[in-house]
Amino acid sequence: MPALFRPASLYLLLSYLLISSLPFFPLLQGQPVEKTWHLLAMELVSWLGFWALLQRPRWFHYLLLPAFFAVPVEVYLRLYFGQGISTHHLGIMVETSPKEAMEFLGNKVWLLLLLVIAVTAWWWSLLRVAKTHSHLDWTHRSRWAVLLLFIIGIATWTYGEQIGVAKAAPSASTSKASSSAAPTSGATSSSNAASSSASTEDEEKDEDEEEEASASASASASSAPAADAGTLARWHASLKQNLPPLPQWAKIPYDEEIYIRSWPFGLVLRGNDFWVERDYLAKLSEKSRAFRFQAHLDGNPATPQTIIMVIGESSRFDRWSLNGYERDTNPLLKQESNLVSFSDVVTAVSATRLSVPIIVSRKPAAQSLKAGFSEKSFLTAFKEAGFKTYWLSNQMSFGQFDTPTSVFAKEADVTQFLNLGGFTNSSNLDQVLLEPMANAMRDAAPKKLIVLHTLGNHWNYSHRHPKSFDNWKPSLYGVVNPAYTDLKNKQALNNSYDNSILYTDWMLSEVIQKLKTSSQITSLVYISDHGQTLYDGSCNLAFHGHNTDYEFHVPALMWYSDAYQEHFPDKVVQLRLHQKARLSTENIFHSLLDMANIRYPDEKLEWSILSKQLKPHTRYVDSYGWTDYDNATLKGDCREVMDKKTPLVQEK
């Protein structure tokens, strides 16, 4: 019998084939896999290079142990969330404590234990096979040929990356098509608009990362001799100028976005992304490490009090029936007599990663495009005043849009990120936050601040609520990968959005009911980070990242218990007096501390909604520069915010 077909060899090969096939798991669910053949080819080539380099399975099987342990996680995420392990999931696994894991898994911890035992046994049995059988050792001279090809390939790819690749010559048909296709000036398709909105946050993050990288590079350059840095740069520039670019035919078809999806080798890139994100987070955190508010509580520290801060996501003001919307999207909140909904609150930027820092800290709106901040958030001020603080999030800790928020979140005494899905994919519903919130409320600490960071009304809207809230139809509920750029889906898209608001109403009502049952002094603040544009009227824009009033004008509300009103009657009076005041997300930090009666040396009560000292301030929004929202016009059905004067220049 040939060595390849012996039972031991087949067992080893089929096991490696099994873990390599995980990226194709969606095919079993009837879903497509992008660039299937390219992905398959990259995996095959990787295995050839890996095997050729390390020669014997008994030498490299140890390196595959992390991949084997990751298999159950990958399958779980594929089954329930339609995605594989990401940078964010690695962050959760690394940073979740055993106690938090036990609380999250509950009875499932025994299933996890069985899986760990089974995977360990699987890996160990393969190790035994690799050690006792040499059938798959690559001792043939072809191994050296493969290694040589790999060295040539890596050298060619490196040359192309450093020197450049020649552009492909356009074919005759392409040239003819290009010359006959003349774009119409001023025409904007809904597809381009939606595509633009979807990429806005990526671009903003890229800009911030480039700024951080530039700052880091500058710091490194200043610590080394300037002459050496200049010589190196001139040498590299000279090479690019004097060496010819790599011919197009010699370009290595390596695609990092595809390779990172591969198994098991793509896990290395995901791990690298995680450490890069973590390093970026550490650099941002360093800016405020030594900062202190010198805050203290004005009152009895033993008096039990709980404040809940809910940060909403992608919710727009005019879709709440509390604010006059014709559909009854807030049937539960409208029954609350101790609730104040504010009519005129704006956010400075329509991107989560830039708007949330303005909500939770004293970072000025006009600095929101700058990475990091020299101060900490209200979490630290509450901690200094004797509160135990919690950050419970249904968003993500690492990844495309979240690092700046994570810096602030980690100031809390207890930080939990519970999102195992994503923004556009199926994920946990926001009700996943209710049990950890209840656990936090039962904590023995008399004073508590609990932040709930929700997914709220983020796209895909139909993934933000259960079927029981699929009230307005036709909707996108149950539609796999709906085309948001297709105007045929406009009605369903809007109905699904309203259904997600209906669920937000239920979610906030549940939080309030739990606060009502508490014997403590309790209160709640809710505000959305930004809104959404939803193909309004003849407007061909959707989602956020545009300059529309639908994205800047956000819902915000405060609720207080009867016990809170008894202890702070003057604050409640001011709260109601300021219901129609001109406010922004910059008011939240000051109002939240005032709500708790926390004082600090340089406080600004003129920014607190609960203070009689409240004064209006210039409300800047990110629209063609820093536009004065109160000195602007709203253009067309998109309600584009246009400053009547010249907007301030933005610094990044």
Q: Tell me the per-residue pLDDT of 67-101, one tens digit each, with 9 for 90 and over.
A: 998 888 888 778 766 778 877 567 656 655 565 55
Q: Tell me how far apart the alpha carbons of residues 435 and 338 are, in angstroms, rounded to a whole number.
A: 24
pLDDT at 214 over 50: no
pLDDT at 423 over 90: no
Percent of the chain with pLDDT over 70: 84
Burial class (CB in 10 A: 0-12, 13-18, 19+), 371: buried
Pairing mode, strands 345-346 and 583-584: parallel
Among 254, 286, 318, the domain-final residue is 286
What range does the domain containing 3 cover?
Answer: 1-166+241-286
Band (444; pLDDT cuts 50, 70, 90): very high
Q: How many domains does the chain have?
A: 2
Are 282 and 307 in a shared domain?
no
Residue 598 has φ and ψ, to the nearest 5°, of -95, 130
Residues 6+ apart with CB under 8 A from 80: 420, 421, 426
Contact (Cβ atoms closer than 8 angstroms) between residue 47 and residue 94: no
Q: For residue range 305-350, what is the model confidence (pLDDT) as tens digits?
A: 999 999 999 999 999 999 999 999 999 999 999 999 999 999 999 9
pLDDT value at residue 26: 87
Residues 6+ apart with CB under 8 A from 19: 64, 67, 68, 71, 263, 264
Are 446 and 544 in a shared domain?
yes
Are 557 and 597 in a shared domain?
yes
pLDDT at 215 over 80: no
Are 259 and 329 in a shared domain?
no
Residues 6+ apart with CB under 8 A from 437: 308, 390, 392, 450, 452, 511, 514
Average pLDDT, the chain: 85
Q: Which residue has the higher pLDDT, 430 or 114?
A: 430
Residue whose tokens read 């539960």:
332
**Does residue 586 lie in a domain region?**
yes
Segment 359-369 shows an average pLDDT of 94
Q: For residue range 497-524, what is the model confidence (pLDDT) as tens digits?
A: 999 999 999 999 999 999 999 999 999 9
**Does residue 262 lie in a domain region?**
yes
Q: Tell me how far apart the alpha carbons of residues 24 and 21 are, in angstroms, rounded to a whole number.
A: 5
Are 149 and 49 in a shared domain?
yes
Q: For residue range 98-127, what is the model confidence (pLDDT) as tens digits?
A: 655 555 555 666 777 888 899 999 999 999
Segment 46-67 shows an average pLDDT of 92
Are 280 and 340 in a shared domain?
no
Band (224; pLDDT cuts 50, 70, 90): very low
Are 319 and 267 in a shared domain?
no
pLDDT at 461 over 60: yes
Q: Which residue has the higher pLDDT, 543 or 80?
A: 543
Nearest-10 crossing angle of helices 36-54, 7-20: 130
Looking at residue 338, which CATH number applies to its domain? 3.40.720.10
Among 252, 286, 320, the domain-final residue is 286
Q: For residue range 581-629, what is the model confidence (pLDDT) as tens digits?
A: 999 999 999 999 999 999 999 999 999 999 999 999 999 999 999 999 9
Are 349 and 492 in a shared domain?
yes
Segment 353-359 shows an average pLDDT of 93
**Does residue 183 lie in a domain region?**
no
Band (406; pLDDT cuts 50, 70, 90): confident
DSSP 8-state assignment for residue 448 = E
pLDDT value at residue 103: 53
The alpha helices in 1-64, defined as continuous H runs, are 7-20, 36-54, 57-60
Are 476 and 357 in a shared domain?
yes
**Does residue 197 lie in a domain region?**
no
DSSP 484-500: TT-GGGHHHHHHHHHHH
Q: For residue range 1-16, what is the model confidence (pLDDT) as tens digits?
A: 455 667 888 999 999 9
**Does residue 521 lie in a domain region?**
yes
**Does residue 132 lie in a domain region?**
yes
Copy the structure tokens of residue 83. Answer: 């995605």
Pairing mode, strands 533-534 and 447-453: unpaired
Are 345 and 277 in a shared domain?
no
Segment (H or E) for 346: strand 345-346
**Does residue 233 lie in a domain region?**
no
Among 257, 286, 315, the domain-final residue is 286
pLDDT at 421 over 60: yes
Classified as helix, coil or strand, 181 is coil
pLDDT value at residue 316: 97
Nearest Cα neighbor of 261 from 38, 508, 496, 28 is 38
**Does residue 210 lie in a domain region?**
no
Contact (Cβ atoms closer than 8 angstroms) between residue 288 and residue 374: yes
70-99 in b/e form (b: 16+ CB < 10 A) is bbbbbeebbeebbbbbbbbbbbbeebbeee
Are 279 and 337 in a shared domain?
no
Q: Tell me how far apart the alpha carbons of residues 389 and 414 are, in angstroms, rounded to a whole number.
A: 7
pLDDT value at residue 153: 92
Are 11 and 77 in a shared domain?
yes
Q: For residue range 154-201, what is the model confidence (pLDDT) as tens digits?
A: 999 999 888 888 887 665 544 444 443 333 333 333 333 333 333 333
Copy the structure tokens of residue 545. Answer: 């990242």
pLDDT at 210 over 50: no
Q: Tell me how far apart the alpha carbons of residues 131 and 537 are, in angstroms, rounded to a whole number.
A: 69
pLDDT at 219 over 80: no
Percent of the chain with pLDDT over 90: 60
